[in-house]
Structure 1
Amino acid sequence: MSLQDGTYAGVSQGFGGETKVTVTIKEGQIANVVVDETNDTAAVSQQAVKKIPEMIVAAKNYDVDIVSGASKSSQGIMDAVKNALEQAGDISQLAAKKVAPHSNTVEEEIADPAGQYAKFDQEISTELVIIGSGISGLSAAVQAGQDGVKSIVIEKLAATGGNGGGVEGQFAINSARQQGLGINITPNEIMTAEHQMGQYRANGAIWLDFINSSAANIAWCQENGVEYSGQVDNYYTGLFNTFHWFNGGHASQGYVPQMTAKAQSYGVDFIFNTAAKHLIYQDNKVTGLIAEDEDGQIIKINAQAVIVATGGIGGSRELVGQQGWNTEHMLLTGMPSSAGDGYRMTKEVGSKDMLHESAQLVMNYVQAFPTDAPLLYMDPINGIKGFTTGGEVIFVNEEGDRFVNENIYTFNMMLQSMAMKQNKASYAIFTRKMFLDFAQKVGVENGAKILDQSVQENAGQTLFESETIAGLADAFNLPKENLLQTIEHYNELCQQREDTDFNKDADVLTALEDGPFYIAQVAQNYLVGIGGIGTNKRFEVIDDKHEAIPGLYATGMDGVMLYKNVYTMNMPGTACGFSVHSGRNAVKNAEKTF
């Protein structure tokens, strides 16, 4: 090894951005390493910043063991040091060695994320702190208040509700209302259907406990003031009549105000316009959190347990992208405040990352079609049951290949988008008559005007008209011959009235024969991320070894892992029902540790 004495600056890409170091060489050896800049989360990277330079100097080598819990930050520092050493001379003899297996890595206790704060503007002590006041946060608050647990709810917005305000109803079987309506459903019917749809990947024990508790959860909600309309159905396309509609059609009218008032009547304190920033982790246990109010005041809350109920990751384009979605034309129309706060905070203290198996409430839309509806997912043209949901249109990918039964949304509305997740790009091909017939069917009188104006304005360059199929291929530079063959074959299937490729329903097999023809690039409208934090049946947050992290619980859209990748929306109301269930039971399980 031949390194020239001097001081050298190195740079690399760390977890959250560039990592910059200064390396000093004396007598041809690494004498000192200083981390000048890291854009990684301070709570995660601080141990790596401290330990990795010491280890590099001791080993006289840039390639050392990673610091447990900060692997990406560790690697970023090592890469930056390597970059600096390359300027000092030949480093070929510093042969890169494999990172030691997990069992041999440098084991450090997880750093307390709150350790970065030198002082606090306010300090509060309580028994339980709940982060978020959506469906599950309010459920937890009411249960805690009812049980006499001294509790505080931290809410980053100015009012309660979060993602939950737009929820329309709640799952249950064998509720008093269902019995009155003569609706009889057995647990095994739900469990069998769910397991079959999810390829037996879901945790049946957690599902069964939820199912068997669902009627009691409805009764408990009613006892605490929640109002239901009395209508119980299958929510349009569900497999069972399990959907108990809230009064007024949304939780913002039937659930949120009632549960908020009830929690407050029990003495639960709500702190609004205040965002939880980090968990306090001391002696291998979560003992509270650090929050920041709208004035920038830092608040330390000491607690015996923390319940994370921040609403999931749907407001974070970065985290949605980590689920595997192409976010280029994606709309995020859920609550912007549900941006993965809980996911990030629990990751800092070692939670098991389940983002790769988490689900989502997502649907198709076309950027060129109208997107100005107050609730886009309810728009008749561009919403969850809109024109590019499926039906008569034909879906093709970037190769010009058809890839799915376009009408699959009638089985589970989430499936309209799931098959597109694997594509570089997805397109809907249709005729003018198809669009106008659909508009008339859903009660849109000005369908022709909407289509013509959408083509003319062409937001995002996502919609084109042509008198020929070949012209559609040109619009998006698709393989022309292959697209022509795809449409020709599809028309043959339509003529024989049987889709022998994907089994599309015969009543929506309509040939593309008479123009003008249209092609629209289909993207996704993403409302809610469902899951991401590893939990057990007690709603305790778990680590990579499936061990519970003491004092930490996750509920609702943060911790719901009922679904693996695909939200089985054809089990109507389960996401809301589970939010109520998890909020209640997280409190009850936390109480056992007090």
Structure 2
Amino acid sequence: MLKLQNVDHYQFKDSDVQKTIDTEVLVVGAGNAGMMAAAAAAEKGTKVTVVEKEDSINLLRLGIGGVGTNAQKRAGLTINKYDLVEYLAAFAQHNVDEGLIYHWANHSAEAVNWVEDNILKPHGAHLRSEPDAMVTSSAYEGFPTENDPTTDDKTFASYGKWFQEKVEDMGVKLQFKTALVKLLTTEDQVTGAIVKDLKNDEFIQINASKGVILCTGGYSANKDLLKQWNPVALKKNVYNDSPRNNGAGITSALNVGAIKDEEPAECIFDRGLVPVGTKTGDMYVQTATYKDWLWLASHPLLKLNMRGERFANESIPYQFIVNAASKQPGYLYSMIWDDNFSEYAKQFHMLGCARVGFPGYMASAQKLREDTQQYVDKGLVVKADSIEELAEKLHLPVKTVKQSVKRNNELVVDNIDKDFGKEAFRLTPINKKPYYGCILGGRILCTFDGLRVNKKMEVVNDQFDPIQHLYAAGNDSGGFFFGSYPDRVPGLAASHAQTFGRLAGQQAAEN
């Protein structure tokens, strides 16, 4: 078992405590899970304190998954819960606690509806159901789970500020720039935590009479923990888009007897642009601003390994292409396309954030072209008037790349992918100059292998007995994901965090 005082290596002695605060529920982390936990506990009249080591909340994802939400009912949309849960369990090869997935499916609508009724509607916004998760065959199954906050059904409405105002109006105390140092225990239960006020450089003891809820968001920003728990992630990924997720919640619980998932789980985007010549082992950029993020990279255009060979079906979930590349030389891969790419994007029918038009993040094909052009200007996407020139600029074998492009164009004419089985409507030619290319790697958004919990969101020990007054939600909680993220269930990560955060808050308040 990992034994660390804390992941930030604060030198702390009991005599260093300079202040004591009493609360009933302490929530550590102010993201989707933590904010929902705080609201749920406060709704029951409980005194709640939230500590967050950064200077703001972190409501990152706008689209929220759910089953049987009010937005879905308004749209006349019905999701078969049993098919969905079995899909998620099978996607994980049943390396999950299937009961937890059912628990999410049974309670997800409650959390989604609460956000709409209490956060969005008072500000003139609502949720719009994404109804068209297109299924062309059993190999490409998807579920229309996403609910998108909007005021006009054409654009996203960001609701983080509204959420913060709501919980503060409910009496929740939000304390920023405050980091978790360690959990406090008496006999067989957690009684609170030691935290550090980073602004004033002082240690504080927070006594929590009803419980501590860990919502710190996984460990993707902690290279030491990645080396121990998920070393391949450091080879697959060249960016980490969650630099605040340092693993403090998980390690603090392990230090008081908790257990965590034994195998890694993660969410990886296939949008990491890197300079030609990059070695993946030399690059792990921590960014909160989506530095060098190519939206087009999630589209099923021709992708080649570093030897210029096609290596996978480009229509697979976005994390899968990064997984497939990890079995190729150098872990990175290239993408090649022609000047008609904005027209091809209209026919691909991507899901979630990758799609063009609402609820995607690229409002139109023209916006997608403009987004791509900025990386041409920056030199991360290269242009050429011939495939030979393009291959040379990408430092790829010219002969092999020419053969791969020729084969791609033959498959387009035949209207069938005889090599990797990509859907015919996603086969696109490379025959209109100028030609484009880039080198890509993974961007880890978060880790999902968290602390084992029961349906009360209580963290359990190695006997699977609950550690009294200790709860976890969001990416600090485990048992729900394994390996890769199922992106054909759009909004699942945010919904998992908010649903389980709400359940944890309610349970803690009832102690």
Counterpart residue number, 2:87: 193
Report the equivalent of 1:57: none
Match of 1:403 in 2: 311
What residue number does 1:170 align with?
A: 64
Matches within 5 A, 1:49-60: none
Task: Give the match's secondary structure for 2:439.
Answer: strand
| 1:260 is aligned to 2:164 | yes
Which of 145, 149, 156 in structure 2 is aligned with 1:246? Answer: 149
Q: Secondary structure at the match of 1:534?
A: coil
What code does the residue aligned with 1:264 have? Answer: E
Task: Give the corresponding residue for 1:348.
Answer: 255
- Counterpart position of 1:364: 271
Amino acid at match of 1:307: I
1:291 equivalent in alignment to 2:195: yes
1:321-355 residue CA offsets vs partner (Å, 9 max, x unmatched): 65322458722333x32332212322333432337
In the alignment, the residues of structure 2 paired with residue 497 and residue 349 of structure 1 have an alpha-carbon distance, to the nearest angstrom, of: 59
- The residue that corresponds to 1:589 in the other structure is 507
Q: Which has the higher contact order (CA 8 A, sep 6+)?
A: 2
Q: Give per-residue Cα distances to partners, 1:376-423, cap 9 Å, x unaligned.
A: 49x9xx54xx332233x3222245442211122xxx444443433444
Residue 292 of structure 1 deviates from its aligned partner by 0.8
Residue among 129, 132, 144 paired with 1:232: 129
Equivalent position SS for 2:325: coil
Amino acid at match of 1:396: L
Give the Å deviation of 1:122: 0.5
Q: CA deviation at 1:476?
A: 3.6
Q: Is the 8 A contact 2:5 2:182 kept in 1?
A: no
The 1:581–1:564 alpha-carbon spacing in structure 2 relative to 1, beyond 3 Å, is same
Check if 1:312 corresponds to 2:312: no
Asked if 2 retains the 8 angstrom alpha-carbon contact of 1:395 and 1:426, the reply is no
8 A Cα contact 1:396 1:427, kept in partner: yes
Which residue matches 2:373? 450
- Distance across 1 between alignment mates of 2:477 and 2:333: 34
Tell which deviates more after alignment, 207-216 or 187-196: 187-196
**Match for residue 83 of structure 1?**
none
1:580 aligns with one of 485, 495, 498:
498
**How far apart in 1 are the matches of 2:372 and 2:506?**
56
- Counterpart CA distance in 2 for 1:575 and 1:154 is 22
Label 1:286 to 1:387 Cα distance change in 2 as closer, same or farther (>3 A).
same
Cα distance change, pair 467–326 in 1 and its aligned pair in 2 (3 A): farther
Pairing partner for 2:324 from 419, 425, 450: 419
Name the residue aligned to 1:526. 444
Aligned length in residues: 466
AA in 2 matched with 1:536: N
| Kept after mapping to 1: 8 A contact 2:75/2:131 | no
Q: Deviations over 1:479-526 (max 9, x none)?
A: x77656655544543443321221112234345567776542211233
Secondary structure (helix, strand or coil) at the match of 2:88 reads helix
- CA shift for structure 1 position 273: 2.0
Seen in structure 2, the aligned counterparts of structure 1 residues 581 and 511 have a Cα distance that, compared at 3 Å, is closer
- Equivalent residue for 2:180? 276
Residue aligned with 1:216, SS: helix
Find the aligned partners of 2:112 and 2:331 in 1 and give their Cα distance. 42
**Residue 25 (structure 1) aligns with:** none
CA distance in 1, matches of 2:488, 2:54: 31
Partner of 1:90: none
Secondary structure of the corresponding residue to residue 87 of structure 2? helix
- Look up the match of 2:354: none
**Compared with structure 1, are the counterparts of its residues 225 and 119 closer, same or farther at alpha carbon in structure 2 (3 Å cutoff)?**
same
Unaligned runs of 5+ in 1: 1-14, 16-39, 47-112
CA offset at residue 155 of structure 1? 1.8
* Partner in structure 2 of residue 387 of structure 1: 296
> Relative to 1, partners in 2 of residues 1:195 and 1:135: Cα closer, same or farther, differing over 3 Å?
same
Q: Distance in 1 between matches of 2:19 and 2:371?
A: 60
CA distance in 2, matches of 1:389, 1:416: 9
* Distance in 2 between residues matched to 1:362 and 1:560, nearest whole Å: 20
Where do residues 459-498 of structure 1 align in structure 2 (5 Å cutoff)? 467-469=386-388, 472=391, 475-476=394-395, 486-487=404-405, 489-498=407-416
Residues 172/427 of structure 1: CA separation in 2 closer, same or farther (3 Å cut): closer
Alignment partner of 1:276: what SS? strand
Shift, 1:582, TM fit: 1.1
Cα pair 2:454 2:460 within 8 Å, conserved: yes
Deviations 1:420-469 (A, max 9, x none): 34443332242543557669982059769938944xx545xx85858455
Do the aligned partners of 1:120 and 1:300 also contact (CA within 8 Å) in 2?
yes
Equivalents in 1 of 2:367, 2:508: separation in Å?
A: 52
Q: Distance in 2 between matches of 1:267 and 1:467?
A: 64
Q: Indicate whether 1:206 and 2:100 are aligned.
A: yes
5+ residue gaps, structure 2: 135-140, 277-284, 347-363
The alignment yields a C-alpha RMSD, in angstroms, of 3.9
Q: 1:577 to 1:507 in 2, by over 3 A?
A: closer
Alignment of 1:129-148 (within 5 A): 129-148=26-45
Q: What is the rounded CA distance, in whole Å, between the counterparts of 1:439 and 1:189 in structure 2? A: 29
Q: What is the CA–CA distance in structure 2 between the aligned matches of 1:329 and 1:139, rounded to whole Å?
A: 30
Q: Which residue of 2 aligns with 1:62?
A: none
Change (3 A) 1:387 1:438: farther
Cα separation, 1, equivalents of 2:236 and 2:94: 33
Contact 2:116 2:126 in 1 (8 A): no
- 2-side partners of 1:451 and 1:270: how far apart? 38
Separation in structure 1 between the aligned mates of residue 271 and residue 367 of structure 2, nearest angstrom = 19
Residue 350 (structure 2) aligns with: none
- Measure, in 2, the Cα distance between the counterparts of 1:327 and 1:538: 36
Q: Match of 1:126, SS?
A: strand
Aligned to 2:73: 179
The one-character-per-residue Cα deviations of 1:227-255 (angstroms, maximum 9, x if unpaired) are: 352411148768333322224565742xx
